[in-house]
Amino acid sequence: MNVAPRLTGLVGDTALPSLLELDHVSISYPTPDGILTAVEDVSFSIAAGERLVLLGPSGCGKSTLLRAVGGFLKPSAGEIRMNGRRIGAPGPDRMTVFQEFDQLLPWRTVLGNVRYALERGKSMPRRDAEAIARRWLERVGLKNFVDAFPHTLSGGMKQRVAIARAFALEPALLLMDEPFAALDALTRRQMQDELLKLCEETGNTALFVTHGIDEAIRVGTRILALTPHPGRLAATFDVPPDTRARGSSGFGELERRIQETVFSAPEIDHV
Amino acid sequence: MSDVAAPKLVRAPALRRALEGTPWRRFVILGGFALAWELYARWLDNALLLPTLGATLSALWSAVLSGELPNRALTSLRVLITGYALGVAVAAVLTTLAALSRWGNEALGLLTSMFNPLPAIALLPIALLWFGVGTPSLIFVIVHSVLWPVALACYGGFLAVPPTLRMAGRNLGLSGGRFVAEILVPAAFPQILSGLRIGWAFAWRTLIAAELVFGVSARSGGIGWFIYTSRAQLETASVFAGLLTVILIGLLVEGVIFRSLTRITVQRWGQVQT
């Protein structure tokens, strides 16, 4: 149960500079049957360059936490700070890749989607935005589809566009809300590998939400496990680089440890 | 990431493509209808009740050549477009307010449920009192006939925009008018387009009806007035010619303007099935 220590905020602090801090965050919202507490008293921080994975079964509030970091929800208690400042409205410094395929604008082409995001999110002139958009689409393997409209693409290709759009804006923090959950198993594995490569190449800081242990180990540098109803932090796991390769002994070992700690607890069987 | 290859497509044979299209079936149906009209009118042999198709077409032709019908149609269209544009503009303002605030939302809901069921033509007496006989009264009733169905369709469309798409827009820092114009409007375009269509049909009907009611005293009337005067002079063929013009203009707007608008927008974007 080693929850990441909070930063004291002193100049010249010896700890890693933390980009994002969650300070005793609780999130609850009204439902027809009463007020539901989705997340209770969660604190953690993300250092620059880290890829933190929130792992847990459905109902553990991991997506709710991500939305709160994105600025789409307000915590009912506690504070979320980025670079020391309280998070406000959603903004392009926290680009989100959602699970749903309808996150792309259907009236814009693949290129148009990425270019528009750059024009609006970074106030970039059209020509520069277009050049950057092309570069990123090529990087995610879509150079043959720049002029296609989203409805003609497969689910995996739509997620590639969303990933290109998010990376192109060079956000301080990349938010990923189970981006591969709706894909078939083969495509999912391929996308995990390719995402890992992009993250390692760009060194982007990321907050990734998933319910797949293998996905968490594959893409993350640190894993926070959550328990459901309401969501609370259960355990932290560091993922050493040599553990990340599928089929390595470390991978299987960590997978088993996480499985035992998080998912085998008898009181969370009622999910 | 590795490149995804584009799929290859083969063109269908020309004959198959020609038969697949729908227009030729429509022409057959139209031809059958025209033949039935002509035969029945000849058998009835009463030009006062039902002129033949030939007589109607020649009345139409001479009214077009004399310049009377084109002038009337132009008068009608000018009023119609003014009222339509005004109605759509007011609908845009109302739905934007409704999309951005709770108060606007409630106001729009209340106003549409009050005024949408009220036939525009029922407001004509009030319009005549307020604006007198003439174009302003016509525009008033047209705005009423367009405003509510368009506002209702826009707002329904806004509500149906997927939450993920809204979040994707807000993620870019969009808010207020820009969020409405660049995210909600295009996302709700299928519904907005059908609202514009319904609004157009309502406006066209309302205008012709209003012209029939007080076209007699207006200085220069539109097609409704043309129909009214032709009936008063017992020129039934001209009445039919007027009706035919109303239908033709309606078809032209629907078949050319709205259909191309659908093709270059929502069909291309995959928001409706072809």
The per-residue pLDDT for A269 is 44
What is the rounded end-to-end Cα distance, in angstroms, of chain B? 33
Q: Strand A96-97 vs strand A18-31: parallel, antiparallel, or unpaired?
A: unpaired
A120 contacts in B (CB within 8 Å)? 172-174, 182
CA dist A195 and B22 (Å) reads 47
Measure in Å the smallest separation between the Cα of A74 and chain B Cα atoms. 14
Rg over CA atoms, chain A? 19
**Helices (H), ranges, chain A:** 62-70, 110-121, 126-139, 155-168, 185-202, 213-219, 249-258
Within 10 A of B202 (CB to CB), how many other CB atoms are there?
Answer: 22
Burial class (CB in 10 A: 0-12, 13-18, 19+), A247: exposed
Among the partner-chain residues A71, A98, A160, the one whose CB lies closest to the CB of B1 is A160
In B, which residues are within 8 Å of A183 by CB distance?
none
Task: Check: CB of residue A181 under 8 Å from CB of residue A55.
Answer: no
Exposed, middle or buried, A57 (CB in 10 Å: 0-12/13-18/19+)?
A: middle
Beta bridge partners of A233: A226
Contacting residues of B for A66, CB less than 8 Å apart: none
Tokens of A134: 């092309």
Which of these, B84, B203, B97, lies nearest to B158 by C-alpha position?
A: B97
- Tell me which residues of chain A have a C-beta less than 8 Å from any C-beta of chain B: 70-72, 89-92, 94-96, 98, 100, 102-107, 117, 120-121, 139-145, 149-152, 157, 160, 194, 197-198
Residues 6+ apart with CB under 8 A from A158: A101, A103, A104, A150
More reliable by pLDDT, B147 or B6: B147
Among candidate residues A98, A97, A216, the one with its CA nearest the CA of residue A168: A97
Nearest CA of chain A to the CA of B180: how many Å? Answer: 14
Q: What are the chain A neighbours of B187 within 8 Å (beta carbons)?
A: 105-107
Q: Does B172 touch chain A (CB under 8 A)?
A: yes
- With contact defined as beta carbons under 8 Å apart, do B110 and B152 qualify? no
CB pairs under 8 A between A and B: 88
CB B191 within 8 A of CB B160: yes
* Helix, coil or strand: residue B1: coil
| pLDDT tens readout for residues B207-260 | 988 888 776 555 578 888 889 888 888 899 999 999 999 999 988 998 889 988
- Parallel/antiparallel/unpaired status of strands A174-177 and A206-210: parallel
The rounded distance, in Å, linking the Cα atoms of B24 and B163 is 43
The reported pLDDT for the residue numbered B219 is: 58
What is the token pair recorded at A265? Answer: 């607890």
Q: CA-nearest residue of chain A to B272?
A: A151
The pLDDT assigned to B153 comes to: 93
- Angle of helix B223-232 relative to helix B189-214, nearest 10 degrees, comes to 30
User: With the CA atoms of A95, A100, A105 and A106 taken in that order, what torsion angle do they form, in degrees rounded to the nearest 10?
Assistant: 160
> What does pLDDT average to in each consecutive run of 10 residues of chain A (271 residues)?
43 62 89 86 90 86 90 91 89 93 93 94 92 93 91 91 94 92 89 90 92 90 86 84 82 87 57 40
Structure token digits, residue A116? 């528009």
Q: A106–B168: do the CB atoms touch at under 8 Å?
A: no
* Residue A2: predicted pLDDT: 45
Partnered with residue A25 across adjacent β-strands are: A42
Element housing B84 (H / E): helix B68-100
What pLDDT is stored for residue B273 in this prediction? 57
ipTM comes to 0.86
- Among chain A residues, the shortest Cα distance to B170 is held by A90
Residues 2-31 of B with CB under 8 A from A: 2-6
Backbone angles phi, psi at A100, to 5 degrees: -75, 140
Residues of chain A in contact with residue B175, where contact means CB-CB under 8 angstroms, are 89
Could you tell me the domains of chain A?
8-93+171-270 (3.40.50.300), 105-170 (no CATH)
Cis preceding linkage at A230, omega within 30:
yes
Closest to B60 measured CA to CA, from B75, B72, B78: B72
- Are the CB atoms for B219 and B138 separated by under 8 Å? no
**Alpha carbons B123 and A90: distance in angstroms, whole number:** 46
Q: Could you tell me which residues are beta bridge partners of residue A235?
A: A225
pLDDT of residue B225: 87
Angle between helices B124-131 and B189-214 (to 10 degrees): 70
More confident residue, B23 or B192: B192
Q: Which residues, listed in sequence order, are joined to residue B236 by a DSSP beta bridge?
A: none
Residue B81 forms contact with A (CB below 8 Å): no
Q: Is the dihedral of CA B224, B229, B232, B236 positive or negative?
A: negative
Note the pLDDT of residue A8.
Answer: 42
Write the pLDDT tens digit of every residue in B92-111. Answer: 999 999 988 999 999 999 99
CB contact under 8 A, B189 and A104: no
The pLDDT assigned to A6 comes to 45
Q: Which two tokens mark B82?
A: 């003014």
- For residue B215, the model assigns a pLDDT of 60
